[in-house]
C-alpha cells in the first residue's frame, strides 16, 4: 500500500473508533528521540479491526477502546521503528511513545547524487548516508574520527609537517570534493582542505557519492563527493549545550541556540576545541604530535515572506592555531557568508539563486613579539543558479550554472605573489521515470577555465530497476557511468617553492586536466529491519596530476602521471531490531594499478572493514545505549623515494592494524545525556610511528555531557 493509501486507511479507522462506544480511552504523545512531535504517526489497536487514529501536529493522540480488556497499542511512522505497548483499563493515560529512527530504512531524503530531493530507495546514483543517529552513536571527536568509523575505504594520514591527507579508495584530497550544504570550501594545504572546518556541530546527515560526480559539481569531483547537510531550525526555541573531555587535555565545547517565530528562524552555533601537544614515545618518523585550538562561529537566518519564497542568509568565522613550533604558531582563519533565495514557481517548478563568499588565510603568529604575518590567502566569490521542473510522473529536469572567481596569494609563489582566474559552467540533467520500477538519469556539464582558456565536458548516465516483493522485501539494482575531471589549480600551474633548501618544487602551466571514467554497479536488498548492499566500482584515471622528479631542473615539478586504474568493491549489512539491538558491518576491497607497469606511489590499503554492534533500552526517565565499534585496515606495499636525491624508488611495506571503541551513552533525564568512551580498547600501539599509522599512545578515555535546555524545561512543566 502506498503512503496516501495508508493515511486514508488510518483516517477511516479513526472515524470508526470515534463512532464506537468507548469503554476507556488511551491517550499520550508520540515523539522522536529528541522529543520532537511526530505528526501523522499511526496508532492502531491489535486485534480490534478498524480501531485506530493518527497523532496531531503536537504528536498527541487519543483512541477509544470499545471493550474493557487489555490490548496492545502499536505506533508506526515512516523512517522509525514500530513500537508496541500493553494497556489496561485504569492505566491508559499518559502512554507516551518515543520512536527510534530506523537507520536501515530507505525513506531518508538525499540531494547530493541528483541535486533534487529523492529518497534513498528512489535515487539512481549509489549514495551512502551517515545519519544523525550514526553521528550521535559514534561519539566522534571530529569529522575524521567519524568517517573512519563509519566508512571503510577512507583513511586520514599525515603528509609533511603533520598536515592531514585523505585517501578515498585511491583518490586523494584534491580529487574528493567536500561540501557544506552543497557549497565549496576555500583553501588547501598539500592538496587537502582544512578538515577542522568540518565540525559536526548541528549536522543533520552526511551524504557520500563515490566515483566521478563532475556532471553536477565540476572540478575536483574526480573520485567522489562528501556533503555535510546541516539541520534547519523548526522548533519555537532551542538551546543545546555539550562538552567533551578526552586524553591529552582534548576538549570540545558546543553551544547551539535557535528560534523560529512566524516567518523568521535563526540558529547560531559556537564550537571551541583544543588538544595539547604530546609525545608518542617509541620510534618512528615523528615523536611529538602537535596540539591545536579552534574556534568556530556559524549563524544562519531564514526568512519566508510568502509560501513560495524562502531566503537564507549565513555567516561564519573559523580560527585554528597549531603548536608546530615553540615560538612561531601556525594560524588558519576563515570568514565566509552567503545568501540564497528559493522560489516555487508552481506545483511543478522551482528555482534557486545563491551567492557565496569564502576567504581562507594562513599566517605565522610570533608569540614572542605578537606579530601576525599573512602568507596565504584564498578568496572565492561564487554565484549559482539551479532550476527544477517536474513533468508529472514522467520525470524532473534540472538545469543551472555556476560562476566563480578564484584568487590565491601564496608563499609558494615566486616572491609571494598572487594569481587569479574565473570558472564558469552550465549543466542539465533529466531524471526520467520510465516505469514505476525503472528509472534513468542522464546529465551533461561544460566547464570553462579562464587561465588555460580551456573547457571540459562531463557526462553521466545512471540506471535503476526496483522490485517491490511485499513481505519478501525490496530489491534495487543500479548501474552508472560518469566522467570526473580536475583542472590544474593555480598552485599546480605557478608554484615556485624552496622546500627547506633541499630542492625546489615548480608548477607547470602546460598541465592537462586530470580525468576519470567511472563505472558503478550495485545491488541492494531491504526488508523491514535490515539492509544489504553490494557495490562494485571501476575507475580509469588519466593525466593524474602529481609531483615528479625532473632531472633537467634537478627539482620536483608538477606533471601528468601515467594512467592508473582503480577497482573496488563494498559490502554493507545493517540491522536494527525493535528490541534495541543494532549492528552494522561494512567491508571494502580496493586495488590500484598502473596498466603500463610503472611504479605506483599509492597508499591504498587493499582491505578495510568497519563494524558496530549496539544495544539500547529506555524507560520513562532513563535510557541507555552501549555500542562497540571498530575498524580494520590491512597492510599495503608502495614505492617511496629511497634517498635524499629523490631520484630512486624502492618498495616499502606498511603494516595493518585494528582499533576499537566502547561507548556507553545514558539519557539520565529528559534532555540530559552522558557519554563515556573507551577508545583504542585493546591498547594498540604501533611498533613504528609513520604517516599512515594512528598517532595513539594506547587506550584512552573520554567523557561528554549534553544538555537540551528546551527538553528539560518541557519536562519540568509537565
Query: Rounded to whole angstroms, how far apart are CA atoms 55 and 85?
Result: 16
The pTM of this model reads: 0.86
pLDDT digits 0-9 by tens, 179-209 = 999 999 999 999 999 999 998 988 989 999 9
Chain-centre distance for alpha carbon 98: 26
Tell me the C-alpha distance between 303 and 317, whole Å: 22
Total count of residues recorded for the chain = 718
673 vs 683: CA distance, rounded Å: 27
pLDDT of residue 18: 39
**All 3 cell numbers of residue 301?**
537566518
Q: Do the domains 109-717 and 3-99 match in fold?
A: no
Give 577-601 pLDDT, tens digit per residue: 767 888 999 999 999 999 988 888 8
Locate all alpha helices (DSSP H) within 214-320, ordered by sequence. 214-217
Distance (Å, whole) CA 108 – CA 120: 6
CB atoms within 10 A of CB 338: 19
Model confidence at 125: pLDDT above 80: yes
Note the pLDDT tens digit of each residue in 686-705.
Answer: 999 999 999 999 999 999 99
pLDDT category at 5 given cuts 50, 70, 90 is: very low
Provide the pLDDT confidence category of residue 13 given band limits of 50, 70 and 90: very low
Residue with the three cell numbers 557544506: 180
- The domain ranges of the chain are 3-99, 109-717
Q: Tell me the three cell numbers of residue 485.
A: 575531471
H-helix or E-strand spanning residue 282: none
CA-to-CA dists, residue 641 to 225, 559, 647, 693, 718, angstroms: 31, 17, 7, 19, 68
**Residues with Cβ within 8 Å of residue 4, at least 6 apart in sequence:** none
Of the options 2.40.170.20, 3.40.50.720, 2.40.10.10, 3.40.190.10, the CATH number for the domain spanning 109-717: 2.40.170.20
Q: Which residue has the cell 571514467?
A: 517
In which region does residue 621 sit, left (phi positive, over 0), alpha (psi from -120 to 50) or beta (all else)?
A: alpha
Mean pLDDT of 312-321: 98
pLDDT at 712 over 90: no
Which pLDDT score is estimated for 620?
A: 67
In the block, cell 486485534 appears at 47
Backbone angles phi, psi at 463, to 5 degrees: -130, 140
Query: From start to end of 543-682, where are the E strands?
Result: 545-550, 555-560, 564-576, 581-593, 607-618, 623-633, 636-641, 649-654, 657-669, 672-679
Q: Poorest-confidence range of 313-317, 571-575, 618-622, 678-682?
A: 618-622
Does residue 50 surpass a pLDDT of 80?
Answer: no
Instruction: For domain 3-99, say whether CATH 3.30.70.100 is its number.
Output: no
Residue 100 pLDDT exceeds 80: no
pLDDT above 90 covers a percentage of the chain that reads: 64
Residue in 686, 516, 566, 561 with CA at minimum distance from that of residue 168:
566
Are 498 and 414 in contact, with CB atoms under 8 Å apart?
no
Q: How far apart are CA 123 and CA 683, in angstroms?
A: 41
User: What 3-state class would DSSP assign to 471?
Assistant: helix
Q: Which residue has the cell 501523522?
A: 40
* Cα→Cα distances 523→252, 476, 496, 567, 569, Å: 40, 6, 48, 17, 12
User: All 3 cell numbers of residue 359?
Assistant: 576567504
422 closest CA partner among 456, 453, 378: 453
Q: pLDDT value at position 403?
A: 98
Beta carbons of 716 and 704 less than 8 angstroms apart: no
DSSP 8-state secondary structure symbol assigned to residue 80: B
| Alpha helix segments (H runs only) across 123-191 | 132-138, 143-150
Rg from Cα positions in the chain: 27
146: helix, strand or coil: helix
Amino acid at each position: 500500500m502506498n503512503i496516501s493509501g495508508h493515511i486514508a486507511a488510518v483516517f477511516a479507522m479513526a472515524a470508526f473508533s470515534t463512532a464506537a462506544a468507548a469503554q476507556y480511552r488511551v491517550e499520550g504523545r508520540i515523539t522522536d528521540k529528541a522529543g520532537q512531535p511526530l505528526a501523522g504517526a499511526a496508532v492502531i489497536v491489535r486485534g480490534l479491526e478498524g480501531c485506530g487514529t493518527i497523532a496531531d501536529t503536537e504528536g498527541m493522540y487519543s483512541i477509544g477502546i470499545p471493550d474493557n480488556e487489555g490490548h496492545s497499542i502499536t505506533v508506526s511512522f515512516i523512517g522509525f521503528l514500530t513500537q508496541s505497548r500493553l494497556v489496561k483499563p485504569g492505566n491508559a493515560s499518559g502512554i507516551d511513545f518515543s520512536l527510534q529512527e530506523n537507520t536501515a530504512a530507505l525513506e531518508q531524503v538525499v540531494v547530493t547524487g541528483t541535486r533534487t530531493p529523492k529518497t534513498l530507495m528512489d535515487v539512481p546514483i549509489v549514495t551512502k548516508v551517515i545519519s544523525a543517529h550514526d553521528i550521535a552513536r559514534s561519539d566522534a571527536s571530529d569529522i575524521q574520527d567519524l568517517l573512519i568509523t563509519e566508512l571503510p575505504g577512507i583513511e586520514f594520514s599525515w603528509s609533511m609537517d603533520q598536515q592531514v591527507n585523505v585517501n578515498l579508495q585511491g583518490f586523494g584530497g584534491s580529487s574528493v570534493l567536500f561540501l557544506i550544504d552543497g557549497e565549496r570550501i576555500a583553501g588547501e594545504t598539500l592538496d587537502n582542505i582544512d578538515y577542522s572546518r568540518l565540525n559536526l556541530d548541528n549536522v543533520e546527515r552526511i551524504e557520500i557519492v563515490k566515483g566521478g560526480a563532475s556532471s553536477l559539481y565540476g572540478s575536483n569531483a574526480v573520485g567522489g563527493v562528501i556533503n555535510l547537510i546541516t539541520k534547519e531550525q523548526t522548533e519555537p526555541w532551542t538551546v543545546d549545550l555539550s562538552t567533551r573531555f578526552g586524553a591529552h587535555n582534548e576538549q570540545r565545547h558546543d553551544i547551539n541556540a535557535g528560534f523560529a517565530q512566524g516567518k523568521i528562524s535563526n540558529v547560531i552555533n559556537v564550537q571551541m576545541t583544543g588538544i595539547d601537544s604530546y609525545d608518542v614515545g617509541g620510534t618512528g618518523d615523528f615523536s611529538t604530535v602537535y596540539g591545536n585550538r579552534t574556534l568556530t562561529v556559524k549563524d544562519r537566518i531564514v526568512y519566508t515572506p510568502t509560501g513560495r519564497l524562502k531566503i537564507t542568509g549565513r555567516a561564519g568565522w573559523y580560527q585554528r592555531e597549531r603548536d608546530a613550533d615553540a615560538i612561531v604558531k601556525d594560524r588558519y582563519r576563515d570568514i565566509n557568508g552567503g545568501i540564497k533565495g528559493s522560489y516555487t514557481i508552481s506545483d511543478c517548478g522551482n528555482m534557486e539563486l545563491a551567492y557565496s563568499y569564502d576567504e581562507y588565510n594562513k599566517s605565522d603568529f610570533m608569540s614572542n613579539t605578537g606579530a601576525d604575518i599573512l602568507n596565504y590567502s584564498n578568496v572565492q566569490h561564487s554565484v549559482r543558479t539551479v532550476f527544477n521542473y517536474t513533468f508529472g510522473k514522467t520525470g524532473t529536469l534540472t538545469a543551472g550554472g555556476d560562476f566563480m572567481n578564484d584568487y590565491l596569494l601564496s608563499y609558494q609563489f615566486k616572491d609571494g605573489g598572487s594569481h587569479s582566474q574565473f570558472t564558469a559552467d552550465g549543466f542539465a540533467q533529466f531524471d526520467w521515470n520510465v516505469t514505476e520500477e525503472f528509472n534513468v538519469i542522464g546529465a551533461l556539464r561544460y566547464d570553462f577555465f579562464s587561465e588555460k582558456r580551456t573547457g571540459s565536458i562531463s557526462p553521466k548516465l545512471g540506471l535503476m530497476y526496483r522490485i517491490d516483493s511485499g513481505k519478501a522485501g525490496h530489491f534495487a539494482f543500479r548501474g552508472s557511468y560518469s566522467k570526473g575531471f580536475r583542472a590544474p589549480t593555480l598552485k599546480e600551474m605557478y608554484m615556485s617553492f624552496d622546500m627547506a633548501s633541499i630542492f625546489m618544487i615548480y608548477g607547470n602551466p602546460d598541465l592537462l586536466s586530470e580525468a576519470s571514467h567511472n563505472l558503478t554497479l550495485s545491488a541492494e536488498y531491504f526488508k523491514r529491519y535490515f539492509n544489504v548492499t553490494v557495490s562494485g566500482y571501476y575507475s580509469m584515471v588519466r593525466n593524474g596530476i602529481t609531483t615528479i622528479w625532473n632531472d633537467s631542473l634537478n627539482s620536483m615539478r608538477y606533471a601528468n602521471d601515467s594512467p592508473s586504474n582503480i577497482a573496488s568493491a563494498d559490502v554493507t549489512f545493517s540491522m536494527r531490531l525493535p528490541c534495541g539491538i543494532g549492528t552494522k558491518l561494512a567491508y571494502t576491497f580496493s586495488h590500484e594499478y598502473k596498466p603500463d607497469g610503472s611504479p605506483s606511489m599509492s597508499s591504498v590499503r587493499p582491505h578495510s572493514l568497519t563494524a558496530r554492534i549496539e544495544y539500547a533500552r529506555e524507560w520513562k526517565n532513563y535510557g541507555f545505549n552501549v555500542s562497540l565499534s571498530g575498524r580494520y585496515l590491512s597492510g599495503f606495499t608502495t614505492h617511496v623515494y629511497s634517498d635524499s636525491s629523490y631520484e630512486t624508488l624502492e618498495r616499502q611495506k606498511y603494516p595493518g592494524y585494528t582499533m576499537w571503541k566502547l561507548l556507553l551513552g545514558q539519557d539520565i533525564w529528559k534532555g540530559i545525556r552522558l557519554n563515556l568512551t573507551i577508545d583504542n580498547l585493546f591498547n594498540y600501539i604501533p611498533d613504528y610511528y609513520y604517516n599512515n599509522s594512528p598517532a595513539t599512545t594506547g587506550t584512552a578515555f573520554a567523557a561528554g555531557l549534553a544538555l537540551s535546555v528546551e527538553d528539560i524545561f518541557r519536562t519540568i512543566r509537565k
